[in-house]
Every structure is written in C-alpha cells, then in structure tokens.
Chain A
C-alpha cells in the first residue's frame, strides 16, 4: 500500500537549508497499522505531509497504492493534532465538510454522517461549535469528518497528544475499531512510546533530524484492545525506548 524509498526533504530558508528527512525507507502493507515514532523535529510531520500529497518538493520515492503521491487523492485522509476543525461550522457541518466539497446534496450528507456521529458518540453534539467541545470530542469530530469519505488510507499526526490519558485510550480504542471495521491502512505519527506500541502492528523508529529509519519493528500483538494489559506490551515498550535512545546517542 505504502512504499517509501530513500525519501529526502530539505526546507530552503533564507539563512540555511534544513534537512528534515535524510533518506527514509519503509513499506506498509495494505490494511496494516504503522506507527512512526521519533524525537521532536525529526521530520515525522513532514513525512505525513509527503504521504498526504501536500508537500511536493522531495527526493526519492513515495508511492501510495501503486501510484506516486499526489495532491487531492480522494481516498487519503489526514488528521492533524489541532486546527483540523473550522470554528465557524458546527459539529455536523464540520463532519460533512468533505462531502460538501464533493458536491453531495444535504440529504446524502445527513445519511452518511449521521451513523458515523452516532458511532463516535457525537449525536447529541451535532449543533455545537468546536469551541463548545472538549479536546477528545473535537478529535472525534475530526475522525468522523474523514470517515465520511470512506478513506483507504488514514494518516494521523499526533492526533491524541493533547488529550488526557483516559480520553486518549478511549480514542485509541476507537481507532482500532475503525481500523478493524473498514480495513483501511493507517499511518500514525506519535511521540508516545505506549501509543506506538499499542496501535502500531509495525513501528518505524526515526533518528533525530535529519530523520532516518533506526529500526522497523513488527509488533504482532497490537490490534486488540486487550494488548494494553498484556505482559508482552511493556517489553515492546522497553525495546522501543532502547531503539529511540540508541538513535539519540
């Protein structure tokens, strides 16, 4: 599904050139969940932007579903940490935005969005504005908004990092449910070792900037909600922690 080969991104600024990604290679099979973890500033967001087709100036190869990444691929969904929602649209209007942009009439928007809002427990909040929601509810709206478009690739950039531990775990469970139900491919960027271990059936560890792959770990236990309480879970966390430390040292 995703093939990244020797991906390099350099930002040109007036003073210097900043090398964000220094040759990253990995692949994610269709229907898998991949977590990308690495120290702050190592280029994780940059990597997602490339995969989302929002950043054009890169070297190397980035292929989604057999085609080079491009802007406006309709089955790619992107969820960012903040800012995702439009403050002047209520929950329903935000969730239906993608459908509206595709020209669907209102009745079809309702038909598609209503069950998704139900599933995510947002039914009662349809008329509220983002400012009236908690952080967790807002992120759920962002998820609803992309689910309405039936994506086959879900890209998430530290989606839960500003949430408290309990809310974060509930949302992680939501992601698992969605993943299992839709069978979409998921790439999740995080700086939380626990989150990477819990969700990533494959974990890509990046080095400090310029980001390079330090390790790619299979993590077959992930994909079940019970994995969080498995004794093995903590072993994987420790292993990833060592990998990250090695990359730093």
Chain B
C-alpha cells in the first residue's frame, strides 16, 4: 500500500515537471505554469469550482450506476440464453458503433436541458461498454462449474447468484475502469452545450473569457474526478474480488 502511494506521488511529480518544461518552452498564456494553475485551483475550489465539481461528480456516478444496473442483468441474460442472444446481438452490434453523442440533441428534446439528459447520455455510452464484456464472460463460465453447483441443489437463480455473477464481477469492474474515462469525456461534451453547471461549463466559460489559468484549474478538477473514480473502482476490485489477488 505504501509503495503504491509513493509511486502515485512520483507519477504526479513527473507529470508536473513535464508540464512545467512544456509551459516554459511554449511560453504562451494558453499553457500556464502548473503552480499558477494550482494556485487558481485552490483559490476557486472552496467556492464555485467545488459546486461545479459536485454537479459533475453526481452526473458521472449516476450515469455509471444506471449503466451497471441496466447492462448487467441484460448482459447476464444474453450470455446465458442463446435464443435471447440471437435476437438481441444484431441490435447491440448495430447500435454499439454509433457515437452516442450525436444523439444528444434528441435526448435534450426528450429529457430537457437538466441533469437527466446528461446522465442518460453517459448511461447510454457505458451501457454497451458494460453489456458486451458481461455477456461474453457469462457465456464462458465453464459448464462443469454450473453443473456441479446445480447438482448441489441450485436452481436457476442460485446459479446466477453463486456462479455466474461472481465470475462476471471482475469483468464488470474492469469494464467500468476503462469506461470511466469515456464517461468523463462524454460528460464534458454534454456540459458544454446549453448548460450552466458542471466542470464542462466551467471549462468552456473560462476558455471563452481567455481565463486560461481558470481553465486549467477546471482541467485539474476533471483529472482528479477521473482519478478518484479509478481509485474507488480499484479498491472495490481488491475488496470484492479478493480471491483474484491471493
């Protein structure tokens, strides 16, 4: 654990040094020195920035939660029922490659300009990124494992609960870890359109005012949000999938 902290700190320092050098070389207001950006970050954090950060955090977490709650049951069902999969797979593969962001106008018309449209967009993007690994890994649970637990008296539900779900859980967490970056990128985009709250708005607003130091304070906040989600997911993985790390 100690070593992990040390390596994280070293990684951050390397990034900061790289940033400093780059800023010195470029020497334009568009890329301020990190200490300036951090000064603004800490000045703004107790006030407005904190509020925007909270709003964005809420949207991302709600989107992730909804995506997991919907994609996992669907994925499990598709993975374990060849008939359902034959029907649903073409649909999934048709919709999966569409960049969901292009649906934002439609979503906004339907759900309005508030939180729900943004949350829905994140859910939509993550849904597929969770659905497909869940489906694939639940399909590949060894048959002998299912059979031997069935012979112990497990019914259909018990098999899902004791065999399929635990073997899929690591995949879910990995998929979420990969997708959390996408989620924040999507959120940024959604928050820049007809929006007065959230890190995306904060960033774009600073940008249009050429307030580059504020803009980078927003970028720092966004990076920290992503890092926090990533850390929580990794913690959950070590906690819930302890058997993988013995």
Measuring CB to CB, which residues of chain A are less than 8 angstroms from any residue of chain B?
49, 52-54, 71-72, 74, 76-80, 82-84, 86-90, 97-98, 101-102, 128-129, 131-132, 142, 145-146, 149
Q: Which residue of A lies closest to B148 (CB)?
A: A84
CB B219 to nearest CB in A, in angstroms, measures: 39
Within the assembled complex, what's the spacing in Å between the Cα atoms of A72 and B153? 6
> Given the complex, which residues of B lie within 8 Å of A86, measured CB to CB?
145, 149, 162-163, 166
Extra inter-chain contacts (4) besides given A86-B149, A86-B166, A88-B243, CB under 8 Å: A52-B151, A80-B144, A88-B166, A97-B162
Classify the secondary structure of A's interface with B. Answer: loop
Within the assembled complex, what's the spacing in Å between the Cα atoms of A77 and B144? 14
Residues in B123-172 with C-beta less than 8 Å from chain A:
142, 144-145, 147-155, 158, 162-163, 166-167
B150 near A84 with CB under 8 A, answer no
Within the assembled complex, what's the spacing in Å between the Cα atoms of A166 and B69? 50
B166 near A101 with CB under 8 A, answer no
Residues in B199-246 with C-beta less than 8 Å from chain A:
241, 243, 246
B243 near A129 with CB under 8 A, answer yes
Q: Among the listed A52, A72, A131, which residue makes an inter-chain contact with B243, where contact means beta carbons less than 8 Å apart?
A: A131
Within the assembled complex, what's the spacing in Å between the Cα atoms of A128 and B154? 23
> Given the complex, which residues of A lie within 8 Å of B241, measured CB to CB?
88
Q: Which residue of A lies closest to B155 (CB)?
A: A72
Q: Among the listed A49, A132, A146, which residue makes an inter-chain contact with B152, where contact means beta carbons less than 8 Å apart?
A: A146
Q: Which residue of B lies closest to A53 (CB)?
A: B151
Q: Which residue of B lies closest to A52 (CB)?
A: B151
Within the assembled complex, what's the spacing in Å between the Cα atoms of A71 and B241? 31
Residues in B8-51 with C-beta less than 8 Å from chain A:
none
* Total interface residues in chain B, CB < 8 Å: 20
Contact flag A87-B152 (CB < 8 Å), given A49-B147, A54-B147: no
Within the assembled complex, what's the spacing in Å between the Cα atoms of A47 and B151? 15
Contact flag A101-B163 (CB < 8 Å), given A49-B147, A131-B246: no
Most buried by B among A82, A101, A128: A101
B154 near A101 with CB under 8 A, answer yes
Nearest 7 A-B pairs (CB), nearest first? A83-B144, A78-B151, A98-B152, A88-B243, A83-B145, A88-B166, A84-B148
> Given the complex, which residues of B lie within 8 Å of A71, measured CB to CB?
150
A80 near B153 with CB under 8 A, answer no
A78 near B147 with CB under 8 A, answer yes
CB A152 to nearest CB in B, in angstroms, measures: 14
Q: Among the listed B142, B145, B158, which residue makes an inter-chain contact with A101, where contact means beta carbons less than 8 Å apart?
A: B158
> Given the complex, which residues of A lie within 8 Å of B144, measured CB to CB?
80, 82-84
Within the assembled complex, what's the spacing in Å between the Cα atoms of A88 and B166? 7
B152 near A80 with CB under 8 A, answer no
Within the assembled complex, what's the spacing in Å between the Cα atoms of A131 and B243? 8
Within the assembled complex, what's the spacing in Å between the Cα atoms of A79 and B149? 10
B153 near A102 with CB under 8 A, answer yes
Within the assembled complex, what's the spacing in Å between the Cα atoms of A128 and B148? 20
CB A57 to nearest CB in B, in angstroms, measures: 15
Residues in B58-94 with C-beta less than 8 Å from chain A:
none
Contact flag A83-B142 (CB < 8 Å), given A97-B162, A129-B243, A131-B246: yes
> Given the complex, which residues of A lie within 8 Å of B166, measured CB to CB?
86, 88
Q: Which residue of B lies closest to A128 (CB)?
A: B246
Most buried by A among B153, B154, B167: B153
